[in-house]
Copies of this chain bind each other. A is one copy, B any other.
Amino acid sequence: MENNDFISLARCAKKASVKAQGLSSKIKNAALEAVAKALEINKAKIFEANREDLQYAKTLLNNGELTPSTFNRLKLDENKMRDMVKGIIDISRLDDPVNRTLLARELDEGLTLYKVSCPIGVLGIIFEARPDVISQISALAIKSSNSVILKGGKEAKNTNKIILDIINKALDTVEGFPKNLLSQIYSREDVSKMLDADKYIDLIIPRGGNSLVKFIKSNTKIPVLGHADGVCHIYTDKNADIEIAKKVVIDAKTQYSSACNTVETLLIHKDFAQSEELLNAVKNAGVELISEPETWHREYSDLKLAYKYVENIDKAIEHINEYGSGHTESIITTDDKAAEKFMNLVDSAGVYHNVSTRFADGFRYGFGAEVGISTNKTHARGPVGIDGLVIYKYKLIGNGQIVKDYADGEKQFHHKDLK
């Protein structure tokens, strides 16, 4: 795509996002239902495109250019298709995040301020393999009145293309629905152009591995929502219940060891009496224990766990704030005061007491849909639901009020919040 082509696509997306701000919940939900139905009806075409991609991906797999897990995520079957369709219907049932009145305040008689939620604008989504991301993000964008420009992995090109074509054709049948809300780019060159287009793109959401996220964060001025690393910790305090400690550490490491919320480092209070029992249980669960890792920053994403004894809870907190990634950490203790201290002073998106770090997830938190997990310190942190895709504007309504009257003291603000 020529540079001008990308810019004109981005301008169209921006215009569509403005139009989408005015859409009613009814139109948006009708659109989601039309999309779900169209995907269901056209699934044979999707499977066909997916088979083409799988054939190409197999050569990449054989060349070692694709990992087996990425290959597996690429494959769509009846079950995944059913989940995709169900996911869209689930999103249609969420409350509309747009046009919520967050504050209504009379500044003075006849001068009323409203803080109202509204879409962010244009989202750039960059993801790898999983073609189900297309339908999920499209549904979230429709529901939250945002435009999206999607960029999937080349290994899923045909599947991604047909899915978005089907979605856009379905949207064309919905009266009043703007054109160009959802679009797709395919080349690395276009990704570079997107990362440069801070005039048009308001937020970038990378969904993929560490190196993808790091690359994006280093190559754009546009805000990025996501996380590069998930170096999660469990700290077993002096007064820990050994049964809880064993259960939680084993779950956090073995239940799905390549997830970002899996535990990577176990810190143990030096006076915890049953530390040997804990370490043996973890080892017996098939986990390789590493007492002297090359670096405490490492995300293993594997059945490997670094561990270390610490002097006290303060040293544990210090270690986590120094080497952690701000994702999710858990303390195992029967001492509620210690737990409170840990949860207040550990500077992470999730701070847990006596539970597995694996709970860090939008669906488990009850958000209905997950945009991603963020380790940012602004806008949205932790598992991000659809609320992370909106911002707000201030509407001020009066009948000729001017600032001069207030500056001169002729009028005074009274700032009364309205129900």
Contact = CB atoms under 8 A, between A and B. Distances in A.
Contact of A403 (B202, B358, B376): B358
Interface residues of A, number: 78
A59 to B, nearest CB: 34
A190 interface: no
Interface in A244-264: 244, 247-248, 250-252, 255-256
A58 to B, nearest CB: 29
A322 B326 CA distance: 38
B399 A358 contact: no
A400 to B, nearest CB: 4
Nearest to A341: B22
A394 B349 contact: yes
A226 interface: no
A21 B341 CA distance: 10
A21 B394 contact: no
Given A352-B396, A391-B381, A400-B355, A364 B406 contact: yes
A419 interface: no
Contact of A203 (B120, B321, B377, B381): B377
Interface of A: 14, 17-19, 21-22, 105, 107, 111, 113, 120-121, 202-203, 217-218, 221, 223, 225, 241, 243-244, 247-248, 250-252, 255-256, 317, 321, 339, 341, 343-345, 347-356, 358-360, 364-366, 376-383, 391-404, 406-407, 413, 415
A197 to B, nearest CB: 14
Contact of A404 (B105, B255, B339, B399): B255
Contacts of A243: 400
A120 to B, nearest CB: 5
Given A105-B365, A413-B364, A352 B203 contact: no
Contacts of A365: 105, 107, 113, 394
A202 B378 contact: yes
Q: Which of A252, A347, A393, A396 is most buried by chain B, counting CB atoms within 10 A of its CB? A: A396
